[in-house]
């Protein structure tokens, strides 16, 4: 099974790319959705978050209520220390959910899976993907798109952009870049072109279904990534 990572910056167009990928019948694991799932009141990460941030991050500030996402965002986006705490609680839970899903796809004999991970190059997951796709747009376009889509103020939107590494640094580490600087139809065509490049060869897909071969291929992917260098060291700031 080939696992490809899709990343970019906030509002650079990842979800729009995903909507095209899904029309091709390729499964996508959406990490923003998983990050929502693991903070539901029934999950262990919920208690850990409330223990650290208090009930003020909950709707009506009441235990058992879902997260107040806007409020939580105003705490973690402008503050790197608080964001690190949130990440240290949420990311391991998200990673476990991703691995569970990958295992299910592998059992089913799926040829290609895309993981949509906004923080692919900031965390550890880049190690397990065979290709990295970065969806790029310039910061001013990103800003306009966030304000437009989420109705955020300029300062809230900038806090979100600045909570991530500059998108241009991620481009350096990409195997494929989708430049989302034009209209939606151009984005769709660029996405189809990249998907055509990464589609796995059926022969390798068939072989990869056998466990010993999977182990060999997984080792190859990890070694190849290792020798390409650690993307977390490429940036000036460690977010
Ligand atoms: C702060 C929260 C509640 C804001 O929720 P909201 O619905 O407004 O935004 P949403 O979850 O759709 O995220 C939008 C985008 O923000 C960016 N983003 C989210 N969390 C982070 C973070 N910790 N660091 C940097 N950027 C982030 C991503 O580009 C993401 O695609 C939410 O983003 C969250 O729980 N974040 C922490 C978990 C996380 O790191 N998620 C990213 C994928 S694992
Ligand atoms: N080429 C484009 N032309 C016009 N609007 C676009 C284009 N690409 C994306 N958008 C719009 O910009 C917004 C952000 O795009 P999208 O939600 O796909 O980004 P994202 O990278 O998934 O964001 P996030 O990181 O917040 O999840 C959406 O409202 C989308 O419709």
What atom of ligand 2 comes closest to residue 184's alpha carbon?
A: 1
Q: Which residue has the tokens 């437009």?
A: 148
Q: Are the CB atoms for 84 and 76 separated by under 8 Å?
A: no
Q: Is 164 helix (H, G, I), strand (E, B) or coil?
A: coil
The span from the CA of 60 to the CA of 93, in Å, is 25
Q: Look up the ipTM and state it.
A: 0.95
The span from the CA of 182 to the CA of 91, in Å, is 32
Is 60 exceeded by the pLDDT of residue 238? no
Q: What pLDDT sits at residue 34?
A: 98
Q: What pLDDT sits at residue 95?
A: 95
CA angle 114, 119, 123 (to 5 degrees): 100
Confidence of residue 209 (pLDDT cuts 50, 70, 90): low
Q: Where are the beta strands (DSSP E) in 9-146?
A: 28-30, 112-116, 131-136
Domain ranges of the chain: 1-27+110-225, 39-99
44-84 pLDDT, tens digit per residue, is 999 999 999 999 999 999 999 999 999 999 999 999 999 99
Average pLDDT, the chain: 91
Q: Nearest bound ligand to CA 84?
A: 1
Mean pLDDT value across residues 138-167 = 94
Is 70 exceeded by the pLDDT of residue 2? yes
Tally Cβ neighbours within 10 Å of residue 141. 15
Closest C-alpha residue for ligand 2 atom 23: 11
The span from the CA of 88 to the CA of 86, in Å, is 5
CB-ligand 2 contact for 50 (6 Å cutoff): no
Q: Is 147 helix (H, G, I), strand (E, B) or coil?
A: helix
Q: Please report, in angstroms and rounded to a whole number, the separation of the first and last CA atoms in the chain.
A: 31
Confidence of residue 235 (pLDDT cuts 50, 70, 90): low
What atom of ligand 1 comes closest to residue 36's alpha carbon?
A: 35
157 phi, psi to nearest 5 deg: -65, -40
Top-level CATH class of 1-27+110-225?
alpha beta
Identify which of 17, 26, 2, 28 has the alpha carbon closest to the alpha carbon of residue 200.
2
Q: Are the CB atoms for 89 and 48 separated by under 8 Å?
A: yes
The span from the CA of 71 to the CA of 206, in Å, is 48
Counting residues of the chain whose pLDDT is more than 90, the rounded percentage is 76
Considering Cα of 177, then 158, then 94, then 18, what sign does the dihedral take? Answer: negative
What atom of ligand 1 comes closest to residue 76's alpha carbon?
A: 1
State in Å: Cα 32 to ligand 1 middle: 7
Query: Between 228 and 115, whose confidence is greater?
Result: 115
169-188 pLDDT, tens digit per residue, is 999 999 999 999 999 999 99
Mean pLDDT value across residues 198-203 = 80
Q: What pLDDT sits at residue 26?
A: 96
CB-ligand 1 contact for 76 (6 Å cutoff): yes
Is 70 exceeded by the pLDDT of residue 93? yes
Q: Nearest bound ligand to CA 142?
A: 2
The span from the CA of 14 to the CA of 65, in Å, is 29
19-44 pLDDT, tens digit per residue, is 999 999 999 999 999 999 999 999 99
């Amino acid at each position: 099974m080939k696992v490809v990572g899709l990343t970019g910056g906030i509002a650079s167009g990842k979800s729009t790319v995903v909507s095209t990928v899904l029309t091709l019948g390729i499964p996508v694991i959406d990490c923003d959705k998983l990050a929502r799932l693991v903070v539901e009141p029934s999950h262990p990460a919920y208690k850990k978050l409330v223990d650290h941030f208090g009930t003020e991050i909950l709707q009506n500030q009441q235990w058992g209520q879902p997260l107040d996402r806007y409020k939580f965002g105003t705490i973690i986006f402008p503050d790197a220390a608080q964001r690190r705490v949130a990440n240290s609680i949420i990311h391991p839970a998200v990673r476990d959910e991703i691995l569970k899903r990958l295992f299910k796809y592998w059992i089913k004999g799926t040829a290609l899976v895309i993981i949509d991970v906004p923080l692919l190059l900031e965390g550890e997951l880049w190690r397990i993907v065979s290709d990295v796709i970065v969806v790029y747009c310039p910061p001013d376009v990103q800003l306009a798109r966030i304000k437009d889509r989420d109705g955020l103020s300029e300062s809230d939107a900038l806090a979100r952009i600045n909570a991530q590494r500059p998108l241009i640094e991620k481009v350096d580490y990409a195997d494929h870049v989708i430049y989302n600087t034009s209209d939606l139809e151009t984005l769709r065509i660029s996405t189809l072109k990249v998907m055509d490049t990464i589609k796995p060869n059926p022969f390798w897909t068939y072989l990869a279904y056998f466990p010993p071969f999977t182990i060999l291929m997984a080792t190859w992917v990890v070694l190849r990534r290792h020798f390409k260098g650690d993307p977390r060291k490429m940036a000036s700031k460690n977010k």
